[in-house]
A and B are shown apart, each in its own frame.
Chain A
């Protein structure tokens, strides 16, 4: 029983929103449509791609993307078609341009800043083992140490 469950789990594939009747006959074109659909945001559910979403608008966009592909549009042309209507927002992976510089380079800048702070911290702190030896005990300190040691022996 346990084996059967494991086997079924391994065999299962994630549920997909794409209906069989939407699919293109040409597997290569359908593959392109699927890859494109993964990059396009479903505008109703916002954090799902149109490939994942069951929303009506996502279905409409899947159909329209396939129509464009069947008409011979390149992947870039299909993307441009959708971006022309919905803006860069529709792309799940935002394009690299002036208005998105902070988005793309911000994390790198934060990382470099952190790295610099850590390096500066360690450079300033003397490494262990190279600390100067403590000064020798004075006569008074030696006498106090002896009494303390004697006390603890008792």
Chain B
């Protein structure tokens, strides 16, 4: 009993230290999404100027094929870093990518795509207060969602997609969903 009492504080400290140590390696931006396995939110977003009348993004457009929905904005700095990867995905024809131009001026959003390249099939503008982004539980840009054939969200990636993340994580999930 005595001995147990001496060991107790050390044991408590060790357990707490383990939790804190684990906490150091966690990313506080990785907030678990509650939208996984839920249908994509109802939306009907207007197209960007110059991309064609029917190039906006609606809920129905996300059914039939497994696709990636990317949240970007012309104001978003990490999106510049991510963009070449999206262009490469389009070049390879890995999967269709759609976008929500979040909290943006449509003119600026369209100009940004002219300058950096346009990897998207459909782009919908989500002006402030970004209702669609909030419906998607978006906390920052870029964020990307994998949507299956039935229009159900299956995966969420926070932050820029790198080529490594694409080939090792996202593409395998998409290929798996395509088999269903």
List A residues at the B interface (Cβ < 8 Å).
Answer: 43-44, 46, 56-57, 59-61, 63-64, 83-87, 89, 117
Contacts and interface: CB of A to CB of B under 8 A. Distances in A.
Contacts of A44: 139-140
B5 interface: yes
A119 to B, nearest CB: 13
A87 B32 CA distance: 8
A43 B134 CA distance: 11
B171 to A, nearest CB: 27
B137 A60 contact: no
- Closest 8 pairs between A and B when the two form their complex, measured CB to CB: A60-B129, A43-B139, A87-B34, A63-B129, A85-B137, A60-B130, A86-B137, A89-B31
B28 A57 contact: no
Contacts, number: 46
B33 interface: yes
Nearest to B136: A85
A117 B34 CA distance: 42
A63 B127 CA distance: 13
A122 B46 CA distance: 74
B103 A56 contact: yes
A117 B140 contact: no
Contact of B31 (A59, A64, A83, A86): A86
A56 B128 contact: yes
Nearest to A57: B139
B33 A87 contact: yes
B129 A64 contact: yes
Contacts of A61: 129, 134
B34 A86 contact: yes
Contacts of A83: 34
Nearest to A42: B139
A43 B133 CA distance: 13
B32 A89 contact: yes
Nearest to B140: A44
B106 to A, nearest CB: 17
B135 interface: yes
Interface in B20-49: 28, 31-35
B37 to A, nearest CB: 13
Nearest to A86: B137
B175 interface: no
Given A87-B32, A87-B137, 5 more contacts: A59-B128, A60-B134, A61-B129, A61-B134, A86-B31
B140 A85 contact: no
A63 B136 CA distance: 17
Nearest to A88: B34
B131 interface: yes
Contacts of B139: 43-44, 57, 86
Given A63-B129, A64-B129, A85 B135 contact: yes
A148 B103 CA distance: 93
A111 B32 CA distance: 31
